[in-house]
Amino acid sequence: MKRIITYGTFDLLHYGHINLLRRAKECGDYLIVALSTDEFNKLKGKKSFFDYNKRKILLEAIRYVDLVIEENSWDQKRDDVKLYKIDTLVMGDDWKGKFDNLKDIVEVKYLPRTPEVSTTQIKNELKNK
């Protein structure tokens, strides 16, 4: 049972997120998503459209996702890897290199982002309609 983890806000869920989650699941057998809480989003300088509970409901409905946990801080990843016995940490390649410090305890994979879609772009386009 290969266990995978990924982290993110996943606001205004779109096909870029789904592409990432599908490929992350394809790396193993069990996928955990550590979902940024509203409080942690503030630290990230993000204000999500949907609050944590709504974003959690959406993620839990995705066939690739086996468990959703809270992401409350930048530095919980090492503990998460140990606690959940993670084999691979997967992120989009906008994060390339950022989590290489964890390579002593887990495989780290950066997958190509899906081009032309982002939550920010969706918000901006809707604003200009």
Catalytically annotated residues:
44, 46
Report the 10 Å Cβ neighbour count for 89. Answer: 26
Q: How far is the CB of 16 from ligand C2G (least distance, A)?
A: 3
User: Which of 48, 26, 23 has the alpha carbon at shortest distance from 35?
Assistant: 48
For ligand C2G, which residue of 26, 29, 94, 100 counts as binding (CB under 6 A)? 94
**Piece of 58-66, 81-89, 101-109, 114-122 that binds ligand C2G (CB under 6 A):** 114-122
Q: How far apart are CA 116 and CA 14, in angstroms?
A: 11
Interaction of residue 118 with ligand C2G, rule CB under 6 A: yes
Q: How far apart are CA 34 and CA 79, in angstroms?
A: 12
DSSP SS3 for 33: strand
**Piece of 3-11, 59-67, 79-87, 101-109 that binds ligand C2G (CB under 6 A):** 3-11
Interaction of residue 9 with ligand C2G, rule CB under 6 A: yes
Interaction of residue 37 with ligand C2G, rule CB under 6 A: no
**Piece of 59-67, 78-86, 88-96, 101-109 that binds ligand C2G (CB under 6 A):** 88-96
Phi, psi of 75 (to 5 degrees): -105, 25
